[in-house]
Structure 1
């Protein structure tokens, strides 16, 4: 489930949204209000239940051969065992939008944003089986007891990487939740 050329998508567990209003995200580090979406390259980052903590790593042109070998695949996503049932059962929907009102956001263009309200041209599409979606895309999905070892390893490597909703991950080994 990726946007077609000239499109961006917004993934949601709510199939009833008819108009997306710009808002300041709860985790935002900027004061501007946006409608958020992703392009085809970043769509797989959102093939998860919304609140699911996940870490992702992928090969980029600057990736060393050692890091490529240690990753073992061109792209790897990781979640914790506690989220596997939700991955299997969540009903996720994709809202498609024309890409023209959206612009890249962030130094690494990890999202697309619009500053005006956006209404999808049609109803959202059910995304379907998230595990199968990963498999069909050739993305290795790892299920770990704790994400932090993976996060630390990929953030110190020459791989591209991202973490989403990491505040929902289990604490680092030896740390307690506040």
Structure 2
């Protein structure tokens, strides 16, 4: 099994475990993710985003409400102010062997290792907008993430909310 890590740094030779501020209960770890959730990280590192999709437990009402106007299975919502940074970002994907990692969160696709890990390879991701659209995501831009975050969290859709601490202030 191969796992992935995305970075704007092109030359990381080893990933050493470190504390994760978003997960203070964890010991220092190296984070990686599975192929299915890789498109969640086709963004600049600090870009706040809300990504959601139907799950086995999603109600018919929520499925209609959130997906009535799209054929996409997954929707990524980003603040409009990040468009130019997404266009200009040089992002790299690091590939790891999965043998030292354990799954931390199946929904988010997170895996962690408490060992120092050397990547098998590193490659530029390329055109982020093209990669996102090629992955079958619907990409939406909005002035504020707060309304969609509140709707998603209160619903039965599955979701990943990434770097929300960097979102613009609530209007």
Bin the TM-score by the shorter chain: over 0.9
TM (normalized to structure 1)? Answer: 0.89
Q: Deviations over 1:113-165 (max 9, x none)?
A: 1111000123x111011111111111001100000111011111110011111
Conserved in 1, the CA contact under 8 Å of 2:4 and 2:33? yes
Shift of 1:108: 4.2
The SS at the match of 1:69 is: helix
Structure 1 residue 66 corresponds to structure 2 residue 61:
yes
Q: Deviations over 1:2-36 (max 9, x none)?
A: xxxx1000100000100110111233322401011
Conserved in 2, the CA contact under 8 Å of 1:68 and 1:74? no
Structure 1 residue 139 corresponds to structure 2 residue 134:
no
Match of 2:5 in 1: 10
Query: How many pairs align?
Result: 167
Conserved in 1, the CA contact under 8 Å of 2:49 and 2:163? yes
Unmatched tracts of structure 1, length 5 or more: 1-5, 174-178
Unmatched tracts of structure 2, length 5 or more: none
Structure 1 residue 45 corresponds to structure 2 residue 44:
no
Report the Cα distance in structure 2 between the residues aligned to 1:128 and 1:68, rounded to whole angstroms: 32
Conserved in 2, the CA contact under 8 Å of 1:55 and 1:77? yes
**Distance change >3 Å, CA 118–CA 40, structure 1 → 2:** same
Report the Cα distance in structure 1 between the residues aligned to 2:9 and 2:16, rounded to whole angstroms: 15
Match of 1:100 in 2: 99
Shift of 1:62: 1.3
Conserved in 1, the CA contact under 8 Å of 2:15 and 2:117? yes
Output the aligned Cα RMSD. 1.4
Runs of 4+ in 1 over 3 A off after TM superposition: 106-110
TM (normalized to structure 2)? Answer: 0.92
Alignment of 1:80-119 (within 5 A): 80-106=79-105, 108=107, 110-119=109-118
Report the Cα distance in structure 2 between the residues aligned to 1:109 and 1:52, rounded to whole angstroms: 17
Report the Cα distance in structure 2 between the residues aligned to 1:97 and 1:135, rounded to whole angstroms: 25
